[in-house]
Amino acid sequence: MALLALSNAADLSKALTHPYVLLDFWAPWCGPCKQMHPVLEQLARSNPHISVITVNVDDLPEIAARYNIRALPSLVFIRDGTPLTTKIGAAPLSTLSALADQYLARP
């Protein structure tokens, strides 16, 4: 599955109907966020059951506030609409895959 960019706050409710969601909070001026983009693309391709959604905090600050995002990049792992954990900072694919296996594995 490809990365999906959230374009407005109303789309978040629709996105959260998916059982396995990874929200990627980023900004265009954030260097580590840019480094994470290809890693997240790989994660999305190797885990098609996970909906990976990018949230530009400059465009959608209300969503960042809702999830108490204070640093970038931040990744929020959500299952059945419930946030389970947040990973702050850039990470390699192996770390993100392990987190996805822990929090977003299919039953």
Q: Is 57 a catalytic residue?
A: no
Instruction: Given the residues 12, 21, 23, 30, select the one marked as catalytic.
Output: 30
What is the separation, in whole angstroms, between the first and last Cα of the chain? 19
Place of tokens 């994470």: 36
Instruction: Given the residues 6, 22, 23, 33, select the one marked as catalytic.
Output: 33
Q: Is 30 a catalytic residue?
A: yes
Q: Is the dihedral of CA 33, 56, 64, 93 positive or negative?
A: negative
Radius of gyration over every alpha carbon of the chain, rounded to an integer in angstroms: 12
Alpha-carbon span 36 to 19, nearest angstrom: 23
Beta strands 51-56; 4-5: pairing state: parallel
Residues labelled as active-site residues: 30, 33
